[in-house]
Amino acid sequence: MNFDDIEMEWEKGDEEPELLTEDALHFERVKKKRDELDSEDMSELIENPEKAVHRNSMAGPTMMFAKLDVEKSGLKRDDVEDISKIWQDKLFYGRIHVTNYVIEDDTILVTLQHGWEGHELRDFLLEQEHVKSVTWDSKEYTRKKTNKRRRKKKNKKKNKKKRRKEKEL
């Protein structure tokens, strides 16, 4: 029995994309991304330094470190591991495939096979409740804190201006 002949028989009538394996498709996507990065206009990188910092990471696998604020929230290592699993599930449902590792009581290593999804991952991590900072390619990003008091004061001022305008009319 010649298995090569059997395989060729099965492949008859199939289109070329149907014959590609998942690994071959993944390799093609990564190769395409690398080619896109190589053909990028350098003036665009000068205008957007953020893109230049992560240029190499975006062509293949990358990793980030999410630092959690365990002191204020009172999280223990088990809680951090649960949070890590929840993030992994949320990202998977959002079609971003990551692998998380709790490497310290307050740090989660997040690996990403498709580096071109790195900006989305960074933004996701910074939006999470207990995240203090995210480090990607030795560049640290901190979570932007919103001051509720400032927002309330701004809203009060806006409301006062509206009332004044309404009274004038």
CATH label of the domain that carries residue 89: 3.30.70.260
Q: Is residue 70 part of a domain?
A: yes
pLDDT cut 70: percent of the chain above it: 69
Q: Summarize pLDDT for 78-100 with one digit per residue, the tens.
A: 999 999 999 999 999 998 999 99
Helices (H), 12-117: 16-19, 22-38, 42-47, 49-53, 70-73, 77-93
Question: What is the number of H-type helices and E-type strands within the chain?
Answer: 9, 5
The confidence score (pLDDT) of residue 98 equals: 96
Three-class DSSP category at 108: strand
**Residue 121 lies inside a defined structural domain of this protein:** yes
Most confident of 12-16, 19-23, 31-35, 119-123: 119-123
Rounded to the nearest integer, the mean pLDDT of the chain is 81
pLDDT, mean of residues 125-134 = 95
Mean pLDDT of 75-79: 93
For residue 94, being part of any structural domain is answered with yes
Statement: residue 108 has pLDDT above 70: yes
| Among 7-16, 40-49, 59-68, 135-144, the least confident range | 40-49
Q: How many distinct structural domains can be found in the chain?
A: 1
Q: What is the pLDDT of residues 23-67, one digit of tens each?
A: 787 778 778 877 776 676 666 666 766 666 666 677 778 999 999
User: Is pLDDT of 155 > 70?
Assistant: no
Domain presence at residue 63: yes
Domain span at 132:
59-142
Report yes or no on 130 lying in a domain.
yes
